Amino acid sequence: MTQLATFAGGCFWCTEAVFARVRGVVSVTPGYTGGTIDKPRYEQVVSGTTGHVEAVRIEFDPSIVTYEILVKIFFGTHDPTTRNRQGNDIGTQYRSAIFFHNQEQRMIAEKVLAGLEQTHVFEKQIITEILPASDFFEAEKYHRDYYQKNPENPYCQAVINPKITKLRKTFANFLHSP
């Protein structure tokens, strides 16, 4: 039986590209969550006025990849220390957040975050929010598989490729075979 995980780590193109490579991930859907309006559109979300964050909803098989590993991959492939930004993507819609689907996920996310803080993996304090999952609205179709469809796009080259490189270096044992 599969489970859901929802992460916001900046631009959802990046987060989708990372988790699509993880063995045991059945699907990754870019979308919007955590805001105040029903069925937001991209133009509304990027305005920063809806309270939504660009996020991905992941369906995964816990017999192949655990939620804890997904949380570690999440923290290991974006900067969880910058408030409302990832690189040049600035605004509340790019904040770092984990949206838990049950209390077990909340406890795992808190445990992983505490471990990272205790071992000072990051020079600055982690500001990632850990919040209950709320309504998730799928992004427009042109956002799906963006990196896979547009690998030569300058944004993909400059921003997503380094995340994929870091993923391959740090989490190789959890990835699909090349």
Domain 3-174 in CATH: superfamily? Peptide methionine sulphoxide reductase MsrA (3.30.1060.10)
3-state SS, 87-103, equals CCEECHHHCEEEEECCH
Specify whether the CB–CB gap between 70 and 60 falls below 8 A: yes
How confident is the prediction along the chain (178 residues), in pLDDT tens digits per residue? 999 999 999 999 999 999 999 999 999 999 999 999 999 999 999 999 999 999 999 999 999 999 999 999 999 999 999 999 888 888 899 999 999 999 999 999 999 999 999 999 999 999 999 999 999 999 999 999 999 999 999 999 999 999 999 999 999 999 987 6
Q: What is the per-residue pLDDT for 178?
A: 64
Q: What is the per-residue pLDDT for 89?
A: 85
What are the residues whose beta carbons fall under 8 Å from the beta carbon of 20, sequence distance 6 or more? 28, 145, 147, 148
Count CB atoms within 10 A of the CB of residue 78.
24
Among residues 9, 133, 155, the alpha carbon closest in space to that of 73 is found at 9
**Catalytic residue list:** 11
Q: What is the per-residue pLDDT for 136?
A: 98
The C-alpha atoms of residue 101 and residue 137 are separated, in whole angstroms, by 15
